[in-house]
Amino acid sequence: MPDQLLYAMEVALNGLMAGVMYSLVALGFVLIFKASGIFNYAQGVMALFAAMTLVGIQNGQVPFSHMINAALGTDIHHFGWSVPALAAIALTVVVMVGLAWAVNRFVFRHLVNQEPIILFMATIGLAYFLEGVADLMWGSEIKTLDVGLPQGINDWVDTATFDLFGYGFFIDNLDIVATVIAGLLVAGLVMFSQYTKQGRALRAVADDHQAALSVGISLNFIWVLVWSIAGFVALVAGIMWGAKSGVQFSLSLIALKALPVLMLGGFTSIPGAIVGGLIIGVGEKLFEFCFGNGQCFGGIIDLGGATETWFAYVLALGFLVFRPQGLFGEKIIERV
Amino acid sequence: MTKHRPLAAAALCAATLAGPAMAELVIPDLSYRTGPYAAGGIPFSDGYQDYFTLLNERDGGIGGEPIRLIECETGYNTEKGVECYESTKGEGALVYQPLSTGITYQLIPKTAADGIPLHTMGYGRTSASNGEVFNNVFNYPANYWDAASVAINHLLEQNGGSLEGKTIALLYHNSAYGKEPIRTLEELSEKHGFTLTTLAVEPPGQEQKSQWLQIRRERPDYVIMWGWGVMNQAAIQEAANVRYPMDQFIGNWWAGAEHDVAPAGAAADGYLSLNMNTINPEAPIFDEIRTNVIDKGKGAGDGSNVGNVLYTRGMYAAMLAAEAIAKAQEIHGVTEITAAQMRDGMEALEMTNARMEELGAPEIGPEFSISCQNHGGSGEGLVQRWNAADGVFEPVTGFIAPDNEVIDALIAEDSAAYAAESGIEPGCAE
């Protein structure tokens, strides 16, 4: 097999893996949009907040220690204990549920029936608020996230592909774990929405919240529930991305990677978030390989690299033109 | 008229009570403690501020004049940086250190018009080293092109003086900052016969899979990184993932701080980076800072950064500014100096080993002297290696000189182009 083809296969495989990482972020957007029609600008910051909270709890860090020390003249930073990873994850989920309750109690409960643009603006405010609170709670230094996830080249894939093609493919162990977790997450979400009472209530609210209210479904409860699930998804995304490059402010910018995925997959479809992520992941990586680095067609087009973000948005824009609701989104029909 | 009488009386009273205005040396600190680059901005700003606070606490300022620091948050955002400049320049600012190449490019014409010096230490516009074109800009002790050349000179030394047939990849932040060394490296590749590959990383740089797959395929002999922020941490982790040897991976001096290597843990052991100053947490100056600033609760931070890479660099930047202030006071025979006099002080700055030792920071930087023609210093840099077990960067080399034959020609060419497009008649400031 020609070398370039093998390289392209490796790139495509890694693109699929990268796409899963994008999907993890996109899922949080989809859940909230589907249930409440809110485009949650704060989803990326929620991932940052969740990851910072996880590391803070794990390391026994005292939240708001800088403020406490400044106000009381003390010098406390740590409780002196560390919390095992699983327990820290569980405690972080509790914090995210608390955040979901607070967001609904103090923000969205007061904005029921407002225009979507008002709700969107509220999430922008929420994003900046959360960003500041995360800084105050846990500090702005880069934190190392260690929940025992494997990283580095997968030797089995390397050896197997070498035996097969004479060239060993690189696949990151972390990406494999992310794929498995994303699969479980989607399966769990689908089962939850199909087979549980709360899940059916959530779907009812998503279809028509006024009709859902009329049959006794609590809108407040459903919104807290869906924001809690989105908080959990944000935690998963925060763990995966935080393990790659440390937990730091840039984590909130991963939302930018999710936007083209949403545009392509549709804002209301969980499978759309996954398929959209995969298409964006493979598309951007192959485009970078072929035209960003001039590796295809004798290098006739070499754009000098760094095309991935650009291409992802161009691809999404192309889909928007021909299918505005995205691949799996609900068709928008306005009757006059 | 009557209704204004109480106001006038209050104003008169306030003026009488205030007495004569106290002379101050105003130093704005355009810092970034928030945003994606805060991890680098915080220690630098802490070091910058703590040194001036030390001078206030220990010596009563410089030449008897107290220093007034004005911190302004830029978030590493060029627009905010310019706003910070505009809002602080009227306070009597003596020198700006924006710690951002983007902000620097915007401030170059503004500071020239306002007559305020700009110190861009190891960043900014490289050709600003030519003081005859950039009268108000100083980038000592070294600039980006020096850094690229120092890296190549180190590799030359490692390879018996020849890089013929070697391949070197430049992994760079796809921004004005990241593109700075390309021209120099192209010149050096022609001169030394190595093949240069450039790999752009889209900012902020969390996703670098494509670039590292290419590095894994092509296995360049060396990778030089021009990164900042999350790009550094992601790149070091990806290098470990594809098992690229850390001793063949060299970051520039903005890609070689403790927080850059920490997320990769033990896998980052042996990672190399350049530095424009030495790291010595045991230097007497840090004891002075701990005693006179941190322990008194007057530190800009909580003191946990004292002595680390970027804290040291920020402190060194403040030290160079303080030395220039003292020089300006000496030249003009006054203690309360103006921005124009500060410029003169910077242009007459001389850093010797004896002076650095006297300041409690022996050999913190190279020896250099500034002149009207040379605003860039000696251009020397060193190579340091990350020791993951001990959690410290250790020097691998002493200060290495750049290839001035190549650099000077590039600086002359670029500064001449700037002078032509800006209508500047090159010459020393009067």
User: What one-character-per-residue DSSP string does A197-225 give?
Assistant: HHHHHHHHHHH-HHHHHHTT--HHHHHHH
pLDDT tens profile B34-71: 888 888 999 999 999 999 999 999 999 999 999 999 99
pLDDT tens profile B408-423: 999 999 999 999 999 9
Whether residue B362 is contained in a domain is answered as yes
Closest alpha carbon within chain B to A16: B209
Residues B95 and B166 grouped into a single domain: no
B69 CB burial (10 A radius; 0-12, 13-18, 19+): middle
Query: What length does chain A have?
Result: 336
User: Average pLDDT, stretch A123-148?
Assistant: 92
pLDDT at position B319, please? 98
C-alpha span between B302 and A69 (Å, rounded)? 10
At B230, phi and psi to the nearest 5? -65, -20
Residues B151 and B135 grouped into a single domain: no
> How many other C-beta atoms are found inside a 10 Å radius of the C-beta of residue B266?
8
Residue A296 has pLDDT above 90, yes or no: no
Query: What length does chain B have?
Result: 430
Name the residue ranges covered by the structural domains of chain A.
3-322
Decide if B38 and A246 are in contact by the 8 Å CB cutoff: no
**B342 to chain A, minimum CA–CA distance in Å?**
34
Residues B114 and B56 grouped into a single domain: yes
C-alpha span between B288 and B272 (Å, rounded)? 30
What is the average pLDDT value for chain A, to the nearest integer? 91
Q: Which of A109, A114, A128 is CA-nearest to residue A48?
A: A128
Whether residue B395 is contained in a domain is answered as no
pLDDT at position B23, please? 73
**B391 to chain A, minimum CA–CA distance in Å?**
14
Which residues of chain B make contact with A7, given a CB cutoff of 8 A?
213, 217
User: Does a cis peptide bond (omega within 30 degrees of 0) precede residue B117?
Assistant: no
Residue B371, domain CATH: 3.40.50.2300
Nearest CB neighbour to B262, from listed A241, A246, A306 = A246
pLDDT tens profile A203-240: 888 888 888 889 999 988 998 999 999 999 999 999 99
Residue A119 has pLDDT above 70, yes or no: yes
Model confidence, pTM = 0.90
In contact, A262 and A276? CB cutoff 8 Å? yes
User: Average pLDDT, stretch A281-300?
Assistant: 89
Residues B101 and B250 grouped into a single domain: no
E strands, B95-166, in order: 118-119, 137-138
Residues B248 and B160 grouped into a single domain: yes
Strand pairing partners for B291?
A: none
pLDDT at position A335, please? 66
Residues B38 and B136 grouped into a single domain: yes
Whether residue B101 is contained in a domain is answered as yes
pLDDT at position A333, please? 66
Phi-psi region of B138 (alpha: psi -120 to 50; beta: other; left: phi over 0): beta
HSE of B38 in the Cβ direction (CA atoms, 13 Å)?
A: 20
Task: Calculate the CA dihedral of residues A313, A317, A318, A319 and round it to 10 degrees.
Answer: 100
Residue B7 has pLDDT above 70, yes or no: no
pLDDT at position A74, please? 84
Q: Please, which residues 305-324 of chain B have a Cβ atom closer than 8 Å to chain A?
A: none
Whether residue B403 is contained in a domain is answered as no
Residues B263 and B159 grouped into a single domain: yes
ipTM summary value: 0.90
pLDDT tens profile B209-263: 999 999 999 999 999 999 999 999 999 999 999 999 999 999 999 999 999 999 9
The domain boundary, picked from B250, B275, B300, lies at: B275
Which residues of chain A make contact with B39, given a CB cutoff of 8 A?
140-142, 248-249
> How many other C-beta atoms are found inside a 10 Å radius of the C-beta of residue A80?
8
What is the average pLDDT value for chain B, to the nearest integer? 93
**B194 to chain A, minimum CA–CA distance in Å?**
20
User: Average pLDDT, stretch A103-129?
Assistant: 92
Q: What percentage of chain B reaches a pLDDT higher than 90?
A: 89
At B289, phi and psi to the nearest 5? -65, -45
HSE of A43 in the Cβ direction (CA atoms, 13 Å)?
A: 32
**A153 to chain B, minimum CA–CA distance in Å?**
6
Whether residue B11 is contained in a domain is answered as no
**B131 to chain A, minimum CA–CA distance in Å?**
34
Whether residue B341 is contained in a domain is answered as yes
Residue with tokens 């205030």: B18
Residue B354 has pLDDT above 70, yes or no: yes
Q: Which residues, at least 6 apart from B232, have a Cβ–Cβ distance to it below 8 Å?
A: B205, B225, B251, B254, B255, B257, B260
Q: Which residues, at least 6 apart from B5, have a Cβ–Cβ distance to it below 8 Å?
A: none
Residue B12 has pLDDT above 50, yes or no: no
pLDDT at position B14, please? 46
The domain boundary, picked from B223, B251, B275, lies at: B275
Number of separate domains in chain B:
2
Whether residue B14 is contained in a domain is answered as no
What's the domain range around B73? 22-142+280-380+409-422
Residues B254 and B286 grouped into a single domain: no
User: Average pLDDT, stretch A277-289?
Assistant: 94
Residues B114 and B177 grouped into a single domain: no
Task: pLDDT band for B16, please (50, 70, 90 cuts).
Answer: very low
In contact, A264 and A324? CB cutoff 8 Å? no
In contact, B376 and B142? CB cutoff 8 Å? yes
pLDDT tens profile A230-282: 999 999 999 999 998 899 988 888 888 899 999 999 888 888 999 999 999 99
Residue B15 has pLDDT above 50, yes or no: no
Residue A10 has pLDDT above 80, yes or no: yes
Which residues of chain B make contact with A288, given a CB cutoff of 8 A?
210
Residues B80 and B229 grouped into a single domain: no
Q: Please, which residues 273-302 of chain B have a Cβ atom closer than 8 Å to chain A?
A: 302
pLDDT tens profile B87-99: 999 999 999 999 9
Strand pairing partners for B351?
A: B368
The domain boundary, picked from B244, B275, B306, lies at: B275
In contact, B53 and B37? CB cutoff 8 Å? no
Range with the poorest average pLDDT among A121-130, A234-243, A293-302: A293-302
User: Average pLDDT, stretch A164-188?
Assistant: 94
Nearest CB neighbour to A308, from listed B34, B199, B207 = B207
Residues B262 and B182 grouped into a single domain: yes
User: Average pLDDT, stretch B386-404?
Assistant: 96
pLDDT at position B4, please? 47
Task: pLDDT band for A75, please (50, 70, 90 cuts).
Answer: confident
C-alpha span between B254 and A97 (Å, rounded)? 39
Decide if A69 and B302 are in contact by the 8 Å CB cutoff: yes
Range with the poorest average pLDDT among A2-6, A139-143, A329-333, B391-395: A329-333
Decide if B201 and A306 are in contact by the 8 Å CB cutoff: yes
Residue B109 has pLDDT above 60, yes or no: yes
Decide if B241 and A172 are in contact by the 8 Å CB cutoff: yes
Task: Calculate the CA dihedral of residues A45, A50, A51, A56 and round it to 10 degrees.
Answer: 120
pLDDT at position A334, please? 64
Q: Which residues, at least 6 apart from A49, have a Cβ–Cβ distance to it below 8 Å?
A: A99, A130, A131, A133, A134, A234, A238
pLDDT at position A113, please? 81
Residues B300 and B359 grouped into a single domain: yes
Closest alpha carbon within chain A to B210: A285
pLDDT tens profile B181-213: 999 999 999 999 999 999 999 988 988 999 999
Q: Give Cα separations from B360 to B62, B282, B315, B364 (angstroms).
A: 16, 10, 12, 9
Whether residue B430 is contained in a domain is answered as no
Decide if A309 and B202 are in contact by the 8 Å CB cutoff: yes
**A196 to chain B, minimum CA–CA distance in Å?**
37
